[in-house]
Structure formats: C-alpha cells, structure tokens
Structure 1
Amino acid sequence: MLKLDPVLVDSVTGGLLCGIDVDGGPTTEQLLVLKAIVSHLWERPDLEVGSVPHISARELANILTDENARTMFHELHLALETCRHPQSLAQVAAVQEYADALEVDGDDLEIFRDLMSSGVEAAAQDYKRFLTIDMLDRSEPSLSETKVDALHPETQLAEKLGAFSEYGPGTLGRAYLSFYERFGLSLPGIDLSLNNHFFVAHDMTHTIAGLSTTPAAEIALSAFQFAMNNNRINRAAFLASLVAHEAGFALPPHLSSGETGLLLDPPAAQLLGQELRRGSQCRKDFSLVDHFALAPLLLSDVRSEFGVGAPVDPLDGHHWW
C-alpha cells in the first residue's frame, strides 16, 4: 500500500515539482496530474502544487529514508515523466538524478534513456523485452504449471472459464464472464495467444476493481495495482500501461494503437488520482491470487475481503460497478 507520513507530503510534492521543472518549467499536463495525485492520494486538495518550494534530489534523499517511500516517489516521478510531450533529454536526466540519489533502479530508466539517445525503435525494443518478462510475472498463479502451446488455442482453459456460468448470480465467476460480454472480448483460450494466462489474472483484476477497458481506465487500473501493493511486479504494470497509453511510443502485442497525452484530459488525470487513493485503501493485493478459488464467492464478499471500496463516480464511463 502507498503510505506517506502527512508531514512529508510537502517535501515529496516539492521533489516531484522540482523533478519536472525542466526546459522552461512543468507542462500543463504534468501539473494537472501532480495536482490529482496530491489531491486524491494524499488528500491535500488545499496544496498549490505549482508554488510548493522545490526539493532537490540530494535534499529529498536525506528526507526519504524508507524504501517504500523512495520507490513510490520514483514511480510517481516516472508517471510525470511520461506526461511531457515531446520527451526531452532534460526530463530524462532529472528522473535519473533523483533515482540515483534515492538509490532506485528500474527498466524505465533504460527505456527512456534509449528513447532519447537511440530513438523510438531502440526504446520500443527495450519495452518489448521488458514486457515479455512482465506479462509472464503477472500471469494467473494457478496456471503456472500449465504449458502454453504456441500453435493451438487453449480450449480446456476456455471451457474451465466458461464453467463459471454454473455459479450463482452475484458471484465473481459470473461477473468475470459478464465482463467479457460487456466489452465484447473473447474468453482466454478461445483464440491463439501466448498471453492467455496473463489475461485471466488481468481481467479478474479489472472485475474485482470494477474498472472498464477504456484507455484512461487501463492506466487507472495499473495505478490502482501499484497503490495496492508497491512491489516490483505492480510497478512494472504501471510502467507498461504508462508507456502504451500515455507515452505512446511502444505497444503490447494485443493493442493496435497507443495514445499520447491521454492524461491532459482533466477527468483522466482525476481518475488516476482517485484510483491511486482507492488502491491504497485496499487491505491486500488481489491481482495475483488464485482467482479460480475465488470465482464461486460473491463478488461483494471478495471486494469486502480485500477492502475494495466503491469508486468516486461509478457512472463516469470508466467503471463497471
């Protein structure tokens, strides 16, 4: 969970502001997203983020001694980095400076360094290698021993998922099937794919969190996961989504196109902040549990067990609640 001592909010905000104050200052989108983070995740809507005193990388390293707080800062700085269009050497260097001072390392540093030094193609290849590992790490745990045949669909998996229809109304299993019907998606296993096991876990997470499949909701879902559990796998999920849906220079294989500057839309930025807050309020991470074991249970009971609260606005077009 993302927890920050209230006395540190001004300092962390000052570090984030300083870390995007390059090339003439933060962009409108960066300030919009920073404001959404501060207002919702840390519940400080009163804070005028544009006028908070700057905190340098060295100063912040002396203030933030907790590893969780340091990785949280880095991931939020990364999110703001992806919100600069076009990307710049100065912005990439600023993220690297803070990461070095906080002793944080990650795939994002290499991807964005290569984006600026070697171009989009090199960065896209970095992302492809990263995504191969990321999607494997985020696959359904109960399917870890099931071999994937690259030449044939997984009909047994599709049948196993289809059997969720035998569970009663209101169960997670029924809701999961309704998710696919609602958004016009094929059940994992029906089509030939190496990522079926990933989509079982990913779409179960969609269903439990109650988020739809809009691009803004995909970013928000990865932010929710990161806030729910600040571990390596969820940080990678956040990076994967930001590159595909905000930076837009590389895509996972199941997407035909990406977005750039999505979070410049105020409702999308607000959604990001709100879902960071909602994820941070969860008691446990449900993204990589045995979802087949949970499928017979009432969805309301599953949400209660993990502490999943209702969205701020379930009817905003980005939720499925």
Structure 2
Amino acid sequence: MRNQIFQASVRKHDLSLSLSFFVEPGSVAVVARGLLGSVSTPEGATQEQLRLIQSLLDNLWNRPDLKIHTLGPINSLELAVTVKDQSTRRVFHNLQMMLELCRHPQTKEQLRLGENYSESLGVTSDALQVTRDYLHSGVKKAAEDANRIFNKYLPSRSEPELAGQDLSTIDNLQNLAKRIESFSDLPETSLGWALIFYYKHFGFPVPGSQLCALNSLYVAHDMTHVISGISITPAGEIALSAFQLAMGPNQINESALLASLITHEAGFVSVNPTLHPDDASLDNSSAAHLLSSELARGSCCNGDFSLVDHFQLAHLPLSTVREQFNVLPPINPDDGHHFLW
C-alpha cells in the first residue's frame, strides 16, 4: 500500500519529473533496451547492472510489467535513431554512466561501449571525461581528472554563507562550530536541532571543531542528508547524490553523483584505503531499490534544497522545510538507509 501511495504521488508530479529523470511512457522500453545494450559487453551484463536496470523500471518509471530478461538490447545507433528528445538523451546518458561504473572489475570493452553511446547520442559530461581518461590513459589520469572536477565544483556545492569565507584560522573555525552547536538550543522539531542530532547519532565532528578544507562542503552536504532523511551508508551516499541530481539536473549535481560513484562504487578515487574497485556498494537488491526510489523521490521535489542557504532555514520545523520542497517520505523509512522519519 505504501508503494502504491508513493507511486501515485510520483505520477501526480509529472511536471517535476519532466525536468529530471522522467521518460515518456512510450519511450521507457527503448531506453531500458538501450541501457541494456550499453552494458552488453562480450562477457554480458553483470547481475548488478541487470538488477539496477530492473529497479529503474520498477521504482523510477513504474513499469514493473517490463522484465529485463525479456528485453533485447539495442546498440547506440539504433537508440539514437529512436530517441530524438534531448532531455531523454541526457537522462539516458546519466544512467548509462552510472551503470558503467557498476562493473567489477572494470573492462575496456565496457568503457568503449559507454563512449560509443555518448557519441551516438551527442551527449557529453564530466563523468564521460573521467571514463575516457580511464580507457585511454589509465586509472591515474582518471583519478587526476576526477579530483580536478571535484575541486572545480566545490565552491558551488559548499554552504553559500561559507563558500567565500576563510576557514583556515582557528577563530573562524571556532565561530563556525559554535554557530552550529547553538542549534541544540532550537526546538527539537527544527532543522537545526536535527542537524545536531545527525552529528551525535552518526558520531561525526561538528564542522569547525577540526581543521578540514571541506568544512564548507560538509555543512551543505550534512543538511542535505537531514532534509532528505537519507542515511550515511555507502549505498545511501550514492542514493543521496542521485536524489540531488534528480532535484536539480545540472553539472554541479552531476559532479556530486560522480564523486559518490567513484568513491563508494568504482572505488578508484577515495581517501578510504579499504574501498577497492572490486567492492560494490550497489550490488544487492536493497541498494538497487534504494537508488531507484531516491531518484523518484528527488524528481518529485519542486526545488533543489541542497544548494540553498541552510542557515536561514535552521529555525524552521524540519517538517515545514520538507513540505516546502515537497520531500516525500521514503517507501520504507525503517530500511536502515533512512533516519528522522
């Protein structure tokens, strides 16, 4: 019943969906067949990739009647002839890039397929540049380019009030930490109080309490976790970035999803030495369901709350902020990937 209510809410907000990951009902099958073709290397699509495509059909496009094992793949030229709409081509490209980074171990055949589909559709992205570097110049070059892209969009992804501030001094850091810690005096229903709960619940230091070049980013990122109610599991981090891209289909949010995928899924760029390319955060049914469901939830939002001034919203009830941006509740808030619902 909860799933039916959620899908009804998704269909009700087709206007939002048309700006992000919505695909016209008549084009869903051909897009799915194109995605299947884009992962059909000589070794075949992996179980993880097939599961993700099926989950997109089930939870993002509400087409559980379409079964991936009954669909035939189509190549890049066939897809380009059939899909003329530029927004649909962009949706396809972003999903194809995601699926490409979900092959373990990565292969040159997979990377070449992604390049072929992008060229046929006339779509490019920063993610494509990274995978092209991976294909033609190796993982070191791809990692360098990924870090360049991350730093390029870091100011845009940072908390607006903090993006231009010098947070390298002890005084400024302490002022930031005190400002955030003061949210504990706000009502327990407020967004600011929920942020303090987030830090205590997950054991994270309050930004400003430690010297870190990413403090400005962390404030915005953590606020986005709180408003969306998506947890900090590896699959949750990827789903959060997908949620953001669904809210605002732009290069800033594309860079956020790329950063999550290469850190928590592909694994070739990470400060965490325990993450390796053969470790797959999305290689289970729960994670696939989470990703596709969060794409649907993000598509229903009427604005991108990841890039707003969160300090101005901190005093408001969390429920009010969610209502303002039409943040729908998750299908299963007790699945281990959500909190504060």
TM-score range with shorter-chain normalisation?
over 0.9
Residue correspondence of structure 1 range 42-121 to structure 2 within 5 A = 42-121=61-140
Q: How far apart, CA to CA, are the structure 2 residues paired with 1:212 and 1:112?
A: 28
Q: Does 1:258 align with 2:258?
A: no
Shift in Å at residue 179 of structure 1?
0.5
SS in 1 for 2:197: helix
- Note the alpha carbon deviations across 1:128-154, whole angstroms, 9 max, x for none: 222212333211112233223278771
Verify: 1:148 aligned to 2:167, yes or no. yes
Partners of 1:2 and 1:228 within 8 A in 2 = no
Cα distance in 2 for residues equivalent to 1:198 and 1:31: 34
Q: CA deviation at 1:45?
A: 1.3
The corresponding residue for 1:317 is 336
1:316 is displaced (CA, Å) by 1.0
Q: Which residue of 1 aligns with 2:10?
A: none
Q: Does 1:28 align with 2:51?
A: no
- After TM superposition, the structure 1 = structure 2 runs for residues 1-321 of structure 1, keeping only pairs within 5 Å, are 1-149=20-168, 154-251=173-270, 253=271, 255-258=272-275, 260-320=279-339, 321=341
Work out the percentage of aligned pairs sharing the same amino acid.
43
The unaligned stretches of length 5 or more in structure 1 are none
How far apart in 1 are the matches of 2:155 and 2:54? 34
Normalized against structure 2, the TM-score is what?
0.89
- Judged with a 3 Å threshold, the aligned counterparts in structure 2 of structure 1 residues 66 and 163 are, in CA distance, closer, same or farther, namely farther
Cα distance in 1 for residues equivalent to 2:312 and 2:172: 23
Deviation at residue 100 of structure 1 after TM alignment: 1.1
8 Å Cα contact 2:130-2:145 kept in structure 1: yes
Q: Deviations over 1:25-52 (max 9, x none)?
A: 1111110111111111101111111332
- What amino acid sits opposite 1:143 in the alignment? L
Cα distance, 1:159–1:37 mapped onto 2, change above 3 Å: same
Whether contact under 8 Å (2:53, 2:68) holds in the other structure is: yes
Distance 1:297 1:232, change over 3 A: same
Letter aligned with residue 313 of structure 1? N
Shift of 1:266: 1.5
Does structure 1 retain, via aligned residues, the 8 Å contact 2:159–2:217? Answer: yes
Distance change >3 Å, CA 188–CA 16, structure 1 → 2: same
Q: Which amino acid aligns with 1:35?
A: Q
- Cα displacement string for residues 263-292 of structure 1 (whole angstroms, at most 9, x for unaligned residues): 112111111111111111111111000101
Q: C-alpha distance in 2, partners of 1:99/1:288?
A: 28
Cα distance in structure 2, aligned partners of 1:302 and 1:69: 30
**TM-score normalized by structure 1?**
0.94
Letter in 2 for 1:63: T
Q: 1:29 touches 1:264 (CA, 8 Å); kept in 2? A: yes
Q: What is the letter of the counterpart of residue 132 of structure 1?
A: N
* Equivalent-residue separation in structure 2 for 1:155 and 1:257 (angstroms): 32
Q: What is the Cα deviation at residue 228 of structure 1?
A: 1.5
Distance in structure 2 (CA, Å) of the matches to 1:256 and 1:184? 20
Q: Deviations over 1:275-312 (max 9, x none)?
A: 11111111111100010111110000110111111111
**Amino acid across the alignment from 2:127:** D
C-alpha separation between the residues in 2 aligned to 1:143 and 1:62?
Answer: 47
CA–CA distance in 2 between the matches of 1:35 and 1:314? Answer: 22
Offset at residue 53 of structure 1 (A): 3.0
Asked whether the equivalents of residues 72 and 230 of structure 1 are also in contact (C-alpha less than 8 Å), the reply is no
Mean CA deviation greater in 233-242 or 57-66: 57-66
Q: Secondary structure at the match of 2:42?
A: coil
Are the equivalent residues in 2 in contact too, given 1:134–1:233 (CA < 8 A)? yes
Q: Secondary structure at the match of 2:335?
A: coil
Gap runs ≥5 in structure 2 = 1-19
